[in-house]
Amino acid sequence: MRTTVFPASLLLAGLLASLVLCSADRSLAAKRDVPTPAAPSDLQAQIRSAASKVKPAIVNIAATVLVRDQALSDEGLPFGLFPEGPPRRQYGQGSGVIVSEDGHIITNNHVVADATEVEVLLADRRQFKGRVVATDPKTDVAVVKIDATALPAVAWGDSSQLAAGDFVLAIGNPMGLNQTVTFGIVSAVGRADVGVADYEDFIQVDAPINPGNSGGALINVKGELVGINTAIASVTGGSVGVGFAIPSNMARAAMQSLLKTGRVVRGFLGATTQDVLPQLGKLFGLPDVKGAIVTDVFARGSAEKAGLKRGDVVVRFDGKEVLDSGRLRNWVAVSAIGSKHKLDLVREGKSLQVELVIQEAPRERTKRIPPQAKSDADGHPFGGLMVDEITPAIGRQLGFGSITGVVVTTVDEGSLAEGAGLMPGDLIMEVNRQPITDLASFQKAVQPIKPKDVTLLLINRQSTYLYVPLEGE
């Protein structure tokens, strides 16, 4: 069955196994100076206290969005002159968390995106008109404001202290059932590539998340806010024990930046990176499949000033192990502008350390999708792959500017190049770490390659640099 990630309107539930600890175990724990687990009655009291402390700060958010349906003819075909029907109201529901006594509420962007009206229902049944004051789709965070004072506000917790196995509670309004509390554990931290937001560093929990829970609170047993519930992975649309929450540290930083500047100010590495895959790990001489490979360094950026070079592999950030490029990107993004950090690198098999000074991320640039170029030039060393030189005309057409290399014009179906993921429009800039400036240098570089060799290509695809291993048979 297919597993799908469903955004917002979700939450978590879990089973609490009874905890039994004999006096001998307590004595042994004391001798070893190990924290003694709470007895079932103590844990019950903690959970009840945490839930009662936070529930008053959980709100129900009802958002109204205007949508237009396509007008159809009697035959069911769209009208040419009137492609859209009259607008109609569509209603959505989610949760939110009061984080200030004067009425600031944090929720998910997808709960209130494009809303024309927002109604906020408090735990005490009072209802207010809300206004969306700031949104950040990249982290799926939004801030709603209501005109009220002396409201119950949740206390922020430190999400960086969470670890797998920690007890957590999820509080929200699943299926419109207000003030619902579910219980579970942290299943994992640092989940990325979930497909919900651009910046993902999710807390995974087994507490059930269902439609309506989006924007609700994930709290620890102290009653502190450690996450904003956001999505579930499910084959049915309901909870199967795999839920995701935005870490409170990320959500809080986004909210504070939004309220202060109207946008989220993020740190920027000044370089593009990619994950270390098994083949790449071997080609770069790495001991394991971890780290972030630097594929491009931007002029006058943080990475260039720190001395980073293309092909460097970042393995630690301030002593923390970099498992993948997404983890590195998130750590840099939440770092204060101007702050200094230690990067541990592997460069051509040797270890070194550099200091990175965080700069602000540039404003978003529109990505260009290069059209397919046409040519009869034949790069025969790679069967099924055709390339051509970058002429000024082709360079302008594909948006490569003054970048040198050869452009992929044709990739035959079923070829090794297609299997490696090469596509028409890719610009091949290096072959086995050797720069490619034109068709002649490309042919010279690939000529000695044998059928069973693994070749490392550096390509530029839609302004993104990638290392691609091409393995023969």
Q: Could you read off the pLDDT of 342-357 as tens digits, one per residue?
A: 999 999 989 999 999 9
Q: Is the pLDDT of residue 14 over 60?
A: no
Q: Is the pLDDT of residue 220 over 60?
A: yes
Q: What is the CATH number that goes with domain 1-20+37-66+88-265?
A: 2.40.10.120
Q: What would you measure as the largest C-alpha separation in the chain, in angstroms?
A: 82
From the candidates 140, 275, 296, 426, give the one annotated as an active-site residue: 140
User: For residue range 360-409, what is the model confidence (pLDDT) as tens digits?
Assistant: 887 543 322 233 333 333 333 466 788 877 765 556 555 666 677 888 88
Q: According to the CATH classification, is domain 270-360 in 2.30.42.10?
A: yes
- Looking at residue 37, its pLDDT comes to 59
End-to-end CA distance of the chain: 33
Nearest-angstrom CA–CA distance, 439 and 408: 11
From the candidates 187, 214, 248, 325, give the one annotated as an active-site residue: 214
pLDDT, mean of residues 172-178: 89
> So where are the chain's domains?
1-20+37-66+88-265, 270-360, 385-471
Q: Is the pLDDT of residue 168 over 80?
A: yes
DSSP conformation class of 92: E
- Looking at residue 295, its pLDDT comes to 92
pLDDT, mean of residues 125-139: 92
67 CB-near residues (< 8 Å, 6+ apart): 87, 88, 90
Whole-number mean pLDDT of the chain? 81
pLDDT, mean of residues 293-315: 93
Lowest mean pLDDT among 171-175, 225-229, 460-464: 460-464
CATH topology of domain 385-471: Pdz3 Domain (2.30.42)
Whether the domain at 1-20+37-66+88-265 and the domain at 385-471 fall into the same CATH topology: no
pLDDT, mean of residues 218-225: 96
From the candidates 9, 104, 110, 341, give the one annotated as an active-site residue: 110
User: For residue range 96-109, what is the model confidence (pLDDT) as tens digits?
Assistant: 999 999 999 999 99
214 is catalytic: yes
Distance of CA 450 to the CA centre of its chain: 39
110 is catalytic: yes
140 is catalytic: yes
Q: Is the pLDDT of residue 157 over 80?
A: yes
